[in-house]
Each structure stands twice: as C-alpha cells, then as structure tokens.
Amino acid sequence: MEFATPEEQGQRLVIECEGWVIEYAVWTTGDLPSDKVPVVIALHGFARPLEDLRAAHHAWPHPHAMVSIHLPHHGGSGPLPVSGPDDRPMEPEAFNRIIEAIISREIPNAGKRTLLGYSIGGRIALALLVNRPEAWHHVVLLAPDGLKQSPFYAITVHTHLGRWAWFWMDRHEQWVWKWSDALLKWGLISKHLHGFIYFHSSSHAMRMMVWKGWRGHRACWPGHGAIKAALELVPRASLVFGEFDKIIPFTNAKRLKRMTRNQQHVTYQTVWSGHNLLKPEKMDEVVRCIFGS
C-alpha cells in the first residue's frame, strides 16, 4: 500500500530476491570517500513511506550512502506472486540476504554498516541484528517496537481466533468505530488510541494492509536474551525514545536496559518528543543523542 504522495516520492529502485520484490531508494552525500563507503540501512515505521528517512539522511553528520527500504506490504514491496501466500512471513535471514544483494548492486565498495530502524522498523532491525550481529558496526534504534508484545497483537497474528476476529472487524467496521467512540466517551481509551483505531480501520484496503503487514513481520520478534547476546557482538548501539511517546514509551526498554547494564557501548536516551522522531525539526536532537555534540 502506498503512503507517500507523488510529490513526496523520489527515485525508487526495485530488486527481486528470495521470493520477494523489495522497493528501496539510495541517497548519498557529496563527500563520499573514494575507497570504503559507510552505508546506512534504514527501515521506516508502520504505515509510513521509505521517504520518511530522508530527514535522517540530511541530519546524519558523517559522509554515507543511505539505503532506505520499503518493508513488505508498504509501497511496492511484497512477496512475489509465485512465492506463497500474501501474508507469509519475511524471515530475518532472507531479509539480510536481500540487503546484501542491494548493497552489492548499489554500493560495491561498501565499508562499515549502520543499521537504523524506526518504530516497527526498529523491531525488524532487532531481528536482523540477532540473525547477523557481525554484519553491523553500529545499530541505531529509534522508538523501536519489539521490546514488548501486546496480547492483542499476539492473538491476532498467531491464532485462528485472531484471524476470525480481524476479518469479522473488516466486515463490520461500523461496530468497531461505534465501540471505539463509546470507549473514548467512557474514558476507557485515550484520544490517541481512538485516533489510532480509526486510522488503521479507515478502509478495507487499510485493514488488509494492517493484516498482511502484521502477519508478514511475525517472524521478526526476537527474545530479550537473543537481543542481549547480539548486542554484545556489535561495537556500538544507540537506542533513542520520545519522552512523551504513547505508542512505544521508554518504559518498554527497561528490561533490556537492565539486562545490558554492563554493556557500556549500548546507550539509552530520550528526546523531547512524541513517537515521531523522524520529524526534520527533531532529527538534530536525535543525532546529538547518537553521536554527541
């Protein structure tokens, strides 16, 4: 599903690999070294376009080539028709191989690699990290999903009851909206959650995108023990959260922070922001958290 207007879209490229068609864009700074080019692999948030990462590209303080990748079921990315069901999972091992194929095609003289993930892109980044920790010099996670799984997500994605409930809601969206309005009126849900429900159930196309998107990333949810072990093998990791984020609050990271308290190369910081850390006006502060002043 496309989330960027034609005006927002830049030049996009496509690769077919591992049974998937993956859409991506490559942005470079004008002062790249002649030998080994630092590469940033960037993963966007749910129901957002890959162009969101442009703000990070412009704010990044070092010369680099950034590859911004559309996650499955966003933009032109998805499973090839002959490869299996539309909602089949993207396996981290396959995604790492796709990334390698993109780098080989676009940046054959690639040097050290940074993995940058925002929101659900942060969860995918964690899965890629756990699968191949030796591939990454620096891991940057901005308001990363994947540190706490809601029961609703688990039931929806992994059970027959969840499948039945989701498709029932797809056929009876008016009931979903009525109950959402009632729960807001009774003070049982926040205005933010109310808006979240409306946005993600606004049309059949959106509801199916949510279903396929959630299902397509169900294999990318590593456990805390595996994340801790992978972080031990990475030279540097930076986690940044929004102080007022109601979607992925900093409290989600408390367990991992406690587990990695002896890993001095892993840092946890917050900025004066809600969930959207990719706003251009926020990126300078985010970058200062990652690299210092």
Give me the pLDDT at residue 204, please. 93
Q: Is 43 helix (H, G, I), strand (E, B) or coil?
A: strand
Q: Are 126 and 146 a contacting pair, CB within 8 Å?
A: yes
Closest by Cα among 16, 1, 19, 14 to 82:
19
Which tokens hold the place of 104?
């080989």
In tens digits, what is the pLDDT along the chain, a chain of 293 residues?
888 888 889 899 999 999 999 999 999 998 888 889 999 999 999 999 999 999 999 999 999 999 999 999 999 999 998 888 888 999 999 999 999 999 999 999 999 999 999 999 999 999 999 999 999 999 999 999 999 988 878 888 889 999 998 899 999 999 989 999 999 899 988 887 788 788 888 899 999 989 999 999 999 999 999 999 999 999 999 999 999 998 899 999 999 999 999 999 999 999 999 999 999 999 999 999 999 86
Q: Is 267 helix (H, G, I), strand (E, B) or coil?
A: strand
CA distance 161 to 145: 24
Give me the pLDDT at residue 190, please. 80
- CA torsion through residues 285, 289, 124, 275, sign: negative
CA distance 92 to 14: 19
Q: Which residues of 51-60 are buried (b: 16+ CB within 10 A; e: fewer)?
A: bbbbbbbebb
Residues of each domain in the chain carrying CATH 3.40.50.1820:
13-149+221-291
Q: For residue 202, what is the DSSP state?
A: S
Give me the pLDDT at residue 193, please. 76
Give me the pLDDT at residue 104, please. 97
Which tokens hold the place of 136?
């990454």
Give me the pLDDT at residue 226, please. 98
Q: Are 134 and 284 a contacting pair, CB within 8 Å?
A: no
CA distance 236 to 91: 24
CA distance 197 to 202: 8
CA distance 84 to 262: 43
Q: Are 118 and 44 a contacting pair, CB within 8 Å?
A: yes
Give me the pLDDT at residue 293, please. 63
Q: Are 112 and 87 a contacting pair, CB within 8 Å?
A: no
CATH classification of 13-149+221-291, choosing from 3.30.300.30, 3.40.50.1360, 3.30.565.10, 3.40.50.1820? 3.40.50.1820
Q: What is the chain's percent helix, strand, coil content, to nearest 5?
A: 45, 20, 35
Which tokens hold the place of 252?
């989600």
